[in-house]
Amino acid sequence: MHIVDAEGCYLIDANGKRYLDFSSQLMCSNLGHKNQVVIDSIKKQAEDLAYAMPGYATNARAELSKLLLEVLPKGINKFFFTTSGTDANEAAFKIARMYTGKTKIISRYRSYHGSTSSSIAATGDPRRWPMEPRGKAQGVIFAPEAHCYKCPLKHSYPDCGLACADYIEHMIRNESDVAAVLVEPIVGTNGVIVPPKGYMQKLRKICDENGVLLIADEVMAGWGRTGEWFAMDLWGVTPDILTTAKGITSAYVPLGLCATSEKIGDFFQDNYFAHGHTYEAHPMTLLPAVATINEMKRLKLVERAKELEPFVHEKLVALKAKHPSIGEIRGHGLFWAVDLVKNQKTKEPFNTYADKISGKALLVDQIAGKCLAEGMTIQAWVSHFVIAPPLIVTKEEIEWGINLLDKWLHLADEQCMP
């Protein structure tokens, strides 16, 4: 696709054809395209001060820091600005290791944390595989994900008593050197996996009792997507380190953030943090973040995502009722997965990661291709779709998008196994 323009919830190609952007590109264009306030902030910063090295204070940095204190979970108040999600996570791992003096990071299998050395090593999904067995950064061990629909421990909630969280405690106690537990609070690309009630609180308690830090990777789940500023707010749990990117500027410019609690920040008053980038806290990335947050507040987009949640849920429940190929729909706010299976009882997916890596044509891509031809882009991944439109989306646009998916799901239904 040759995209030449974009506006609101729509992309426009070189032939003038319009596409509803049903997954906010890579779940990042939360404000929608061509927001004039954000565009003006980019122009203003270019005119005022295009660059200052990271050691300096700047007006944009001060303004953004003040706003972050308002929206981040209470107690998270030291900021290190990067240019993407993966380098926000790299910083988080280094901080966690320096602060605790320990090495190991516990991550979970169904997760993605970025493409650079430590972030890909901490990624549970098979995008990590090409790094193995050679060249993988050391020190990451993997725990089972909290995925009730396909529980890796074969338990069922709530009878399990949150065995997946207990297993993480078991790991911490049997590994001598654990610095942190890393989670995507709601797993994004790997299927909008929402942990069961009580999981995040239990994880917080386990980390506290064992002197281990909790890192929340909110690169995708943050910034209103779930109907809260941050997904951790859904459970009232504050992590020790929160990383984010994407929605922080609604993807207008590349910015990431690694934010820590005060006590971790204080540690680095006396301990040199040997880490940085030329473009760290780049003014051109910071003022658009100020504009983004102000626009989100003005347009009440976090509230809007929460208000639209029952509407999307109702539409997806109706969709599932019509299609034997839908195993589960799940999500929060404007962040949903439609998970396809060959058989609702066995829950076998149509395709696997092995198919994806082998380059085989995937069923979800075929369906996404049909939707594209009719004017909608949607994120298809292995055997599910991610529905995550810009937070300015209307009910009519949501309905239109779900109806289009409805039209093409027969391609999956026809391949269902009895």
Min dist CB 120 to ligand PLP, Å, is 10
- 97 Cβ partners below 8 Å, 6+ apart? 103, 139, 179
Question: Between the CA atoms of 274, 246, 349 and 398, what dihedral angle is there, to the nearest 10 degrees?
Answer: 170
Angstrom distances, CA of residue 73 to CA of 215, 235, 241, 300: 13, 11, 10, 18
- Of 111 and 261, the one with the shorter C-beta distance to ligand PLP is 111
Do the beta carbons of residue 143 and residue 67 sit within 8 Å?
no
- Of 83 and 100, the one with the shorter C-beta distance to ligand PLP is 83
Interface segment toward ligand PLP; rule CB under 6 A; list 150-158, 214-222, 322-330, 332-340? 214-222
327 forms part of the interface with ligand PLP (CB under 6 A): no
Of 220, 302, 382, 405, which one interacts with ligand PLP (CB under 6 A)? 220
Please identify which residue in the block is written with the tokens 């962040």.
335
Min dist CB 400 to ligand PLP, Å, is 26
Do the beta carbons of residue 386 and residue 379 sit within 8 Å?
yes
Interface segment toward ligand PLP; rule CB under 6 A; list 168-176, 215-223, 230-238, 369-377? 215-223
Residues 352, 409, 320: CA angle, nearest 5 degrees = 90
Interface mask toward ligand PLP for 165-194; x: CB under 6 A: -------------------x---xx-----
Please identify which residue in the block is written with the tokens 């994880």.
203
333: region left, alpha or beta (phi > 0 left; psi from -120 to 50 alpha): left
SS3 386: strand
Q: Looking only at residues 30 through 89 of this chain, which bind ligand PLP when binding is defined by CB under 6 A?
A: 84-86, 89
Interface segment toward ligand PLP; rule CB under 6 A; list 10-18, 213-221, 275-283, 373-381? 213-221
Rounded Cα distance, 32 and 394, in Å = 12
Angstrom distances, CA of residue 189 to CA of 183, 278, 338, 387: 13, 30, 12, 11
Rounded Cα distance, 274 and 269, in Å = 12
Q: How far apart are the first and last CA of the chain?
A: 37
Min dist CB 115 to ligand PLP, Å, is 6
Q: How many residues bind ligand PLP (CB under 6 A)?
A: 15
Min dist CB 119 to ligand PLP, Å, is 7
Min dist CB 220 to ligand PLP, Å, is 4
- Of 217 and 397, the one with the shorter C-beta distance to ligand PLP is 217
- Of 92 and 412, the one with the shorter C-beta distance to ligand PLP is 92
Of 217, 295, 339, 397, which one interacts with ligand PLP (CB under 6 A)? 217
Min dist CB 18 to ligand PLP, Å, is 25
Eight-class DSSP state of 252: S
Min dist CB 408 to ligand PLP, Å, is 25
Rounded Cα distance, 274 and 97, in Å = 12
Min dist CB 340 to ligand PLP, Å, is 21
Q: Looking only at residues 81 through 120 of this chain, which bind ligand PLP when binding is defined by CB under 6 A?
A: 84-86, 89, 112-114
- Of 38 and 219, the one with the shorter C-beta distance to ligand PLP is 219
245 forms part of the interface with ligand PLP (CB under 6 A): yes
Q: What residue number has its CB nearest to ligand PLP?
A: 85
Min dist CB 230 to ligand PLP, Å, is 12
SS3 103: coil
219 forms part of the interface with ligand PLP (CB under 6 A): yes
Residues 215, 30, 361: CA angle, nearest 5 degrees = 85
- Of 258 and 341, the one with the shorter C-beta distance to ligand PLP is 258
- 200 Cβ partners below 8 Å, 6+ apart? 183, 185, 232, 234, 235, 237
Min dist CB 279 to ligand PLP, Å, is 13
Q: Note the residues at the interface with ligand PLP (CB under 6 A).
A: 26, 84-86, 89, 112-114, 184, 188-189, 217, 219-220, 245
